[in-house]
Amino acid sequence: MKTAGDILIVDDERDIRMLIGATLRDEGFSTMEAASAMEARDILAAKPPGLAILDIWMRDSDMDGLELLEWVKGVYPELPVLMISGHGTVETAVQAIRNGAYDFIEKPFKEDRLLLMVQRALEASRLERENAELRARVSEEGEPSLIGISSSMKNVRSAIERIAPTASRVLISGPNGSGKELAARSIHHQSDRGDARFIVANCARLGTERADVELFGSENLSTSRRIVGLFEQAHKGTLYFDEICDLPMETQGKIVRAVTEQRFRRIGGNKEVSVDVRVISASSRDLAEEIRAGRLREDLYYRLGVVPLTMPPLADRRDDIPHLARHFVDMVARRTGLSRVKLGDEVLAAMQGYHWPGNVRQMLNTIENMVIMAPPDRSQPLGLDLLPAEIQNISPVSGNSDIDALLALPLREAREAFETSYMAAQLQRFDGNVSQMAGFVGMERSALHRKLRSLGVGHQQKTASDGDGTT
């Protein structure tokens, strides 16, 4: 079993430390050892472990195990801790668990029991992290799955499969609402860090006064109180910078070193903290322009952008819209507890013809509104009336639609000019997908093919154009 860090063993007896350390290392764990509470605090201040094993009674130490437990939980609230003692009582065990310990083991203990408790504590910690992340993800709107059959989404998924197993830093570009954070989460979950934490740093919310403390943490040497920053929280996991250009320039300079050397100092501290963090960043802006404008450090850009990844806008992946729409219907129905709805062909066609300036996030919001506002009888497909007006009323772009020019023509020629303009605009609207266009204009596919040929409207069919759009 892998851990999100080393296991710290704190015991004043050298033989006990050696025994526990050897037992754990034989099972593939890495360990650190401390003979006193002071030594343990120094280790904890420099590098957060994945689990701590604390002896309750320690000679020549300024804290006993219970006091050290309280200190540890103040610094790393989510760190799993096992307590051990050869002089334990029921009252001591109860107090330790009340103070945040996962469990209590009496000395002398059998190696099998120690390993079992270590594995259980790590597994409980992992599940707690996953549950917290899932709760956070459910509460966030506009976070779709990487769904799509378009070539652009196939390329994105293929790139993620190659990127994820590496330790390389990734810089994701793409317009707002295109799924940059979801791509980052996919990289994280497909990597060997998938069991560790995925921490989001929303750079737009980190003002100049807060950014350094939020990212690097702080400590008061006189009171030994510490605030753990996002870099430490992401130890052995992934730290995701959302809109990296919004970080203050002073903080950007500090991140350059932290990202490169994986070391930093907490604000107010005098000891360096070592971490192992993969950094993924994202931006919806023109980064070259941000560098020229002085809003993004060039050296930070080159350190973060080792591997670039671009998320396409929804308007460039219209083939994915029916699949995303059905996925969102299911997702919104589960989230709201409402019955599923059916989307009519004309609704899907109108969605495919819209340019979606807010991208996938806007589409999710549209679907959610439709599911909520749908009539009680949901057995029939929804019609265009539930779509926002801007999606219903798409004006075809045409160079021959001027009404005065049409009025100057005889009826037959005017009708032919209008049909030519209309068919060309619709073909452009559906990216050459004749099957989808046929469903919208109300013609059989074969008849539409003949009409396009008779009007001289050229088109390049896609491989899936003659299908139903679901392959």
Q: What is the pLDDT of residues 95-111, one digit of tens each?
A: 888 888 998 888 888 88
Q: For residue 215, give the CATH number of its domain.
A: 3.40.50.300
Domain-ending residue, one of 249, 282, 312: 312
Q: Give bridge partners of residue 343 from the DSSP assignment.
A: 382
Please check whether residue 258 lies inside any domain of the structure.
yes
Are 166 and 267 part of one and the same domain? yes
CB 197 within 8 A of CB 233: yes
Answer yes or no: do 345 and 446 share one domain.
no
The two three-digit tokens of residue 433, written as one number: 């997908």
Which residues make beta-bridge pairs with 173? Answer: 283, 310
Q: Are residues 109 and 162 in the same domain?
A: no
Residue 132 lies in a domain: no
Token digits of residue 356: 């979606």
- Residues 314-342 as b/e (b if ≥16 CB within 10 A, e otherwise) read bebbbbbbbbbbbbbbebbbeeeeeeebe
Give the pLDDT score at 42: 87
Q: Are residues 163 and 302 in the same domain?
A: yes
The strand order across the sheet containing 307-310 reads 198-202, 238-242, 278-283, 170-173, 307-310
Q: Is there a single domain that holds both residue 195 and residue 307?
A: yes
97: phi then psi, degrees, rounded to nearest 5: -70, -35
Total domain count for the chain? 4
CB of 332 within 8 A of CB of 366?
no
Q: Which of 376, 392, 408 is the last residue of a domain?
A: 392
Q: What is the enclosing helix (H) or strand (E) of 411? A: helix 411-429
**Residue 110: its pLDDT value, please?**
87
Residues 336 and 461 in one domain: no
Alpha carbons 47 and 277: distance in angstroms, whole number: 12
Instruction: Show the tokens assigned to 447.
Output: 């008849």
Asked if 397 and 423 touch (Cβ cutoff 8 Å), the reply is no
Does residue 235 form part of some domain? yes
Q: Domain with 96 in it: what CATH number?
A: 3.40.50.2300
Contact indicator for 356, 313 with CB cutoff of 8 Å: yes
Could you say which residues of the chain have pLDDT below 50?
A: 1, 138-144, 395-401, 459-471
Tell me whether residue 135 is in a domain.
no
What CATH number is attached to the domain comprising 359?
Answer: 1.10.8.60
Instruction: Examine residue 278 and state whether it is found in any structural domain, yes or no.
Output: yes
Same structural domain, 31 and 180: no
Supply the range of the domain harboring residue 118. 7-126
Q: What is the pLDDT of residue 423?
A: 85
DSSP code at position 382: B
Indicate if 33 and 11 belong to the same structural domain: yes
Residues 297 and 328 reside in one and the same domain: no
Asked whether residue 158 falls in the same domain as residue 172, the answer is yes
231 vs 276: CA distance, rounded Å: 9
The predicted structure's pLDDT at residue 186? 93
Question: Which one-letter DSSP state was computed for residue 396?
Answer: P
Euclidean distance between CA atoms 200 and 139, whole angstroms: 14
Token pair, residue 68, equals 């050290």
Evaluate whether residue 2 is within a structural domain: no
Same-domain check for residues 382 and 403: no
Q: How far is Cα 254 from Cα 249, in angstroms, rounded to an integer?
A: 9
The residue out of 392, 424, 455 marking a domain boundary is: 392
Residue 132's pLDDT is 67
Give me the sign of the Cα torsion angle 244, 250, 253, 254. negative
pLDDT of the residue at 335: 85
- CATH, residue 448: 1.10.10.60
Instruction: Output DSSP code: residue 102.
Output: S
In a domain, 430, yes or no: yes
**pLDDT of 75:** 80
Backbone angles phi, psi at 238, to 5 degrees: -130, 135
In a shared domain, residues 260 and 319: no
Q: Is residue 421 part of a domain?
A: yes
